[in-house]
Amino acid sequence: MQQESAPWYKHFWPWFIICLMGTAVTASLITVYIAIDGSDDVVSDTYYKDGLAINQLLDQDKLANELGFSAQITLGSDATVAVLNSNGALPEQVILKLLHPASDELDQNVFLFHEGNGNYRGAGTLPDQRYYVQLTGSDNGRPWRLSGEYQPGLAVLSLQ
């Protein structure tokens, strides 16, 4: 006596095992897609070159200190005003960089133009988050930089 068995595809357990493996493969492919699409902006691919550039940035800070630069920046809803003090000549234009700590897409550059007596003005939007602030310019082709940090609700920012 032999019993005729139904073909494998008509049984429950082979399909159950195939579904488990299919679910695992699908979940791993979704995980790979999320990892590639949502890459982290904070981590730089050029960390070695960035490390070498730190000395240049420190030289810019040192030059700003030697030239006696300091600034008071007022961030308004329609315009940004900076008062720049210096021991020497003041540049005609400076750049105010608002650098978001976590996302490069939220960074802003505001060009400030000299109005006289160390006053600079430019159009920019008031950030509603914490930002790192850099005021940059050049003195006879040598770049300098002042740095600080902006917190929401801060009306006047001092940079040294």
The sign of the torsion formed by the CA atoms of 42, 111, 63, 147 equals: negative
* Residue at 151: amino acid letter: Q
Alpha carbons 29 and 62: distance in angstroms, whole number: 50
Whole-prediction pTM: 0.64
Classified as helix, coil or strand, 146 is: strand
Q: Compute the mean pLDDT over every residue in the chain, rounded to the nearest whole number.
A: 83
Cβ neighbours of residue 72 closer than 8 Å, sequence gap 6 or more:
82, 83, 156, 157, 158, 159
In this prediction, residue 26 carries a pLDDT of: 98
Would you place residue 11 in the very low, low, confident or very high pLDDT band (cuts 50, 70, 90)? very high
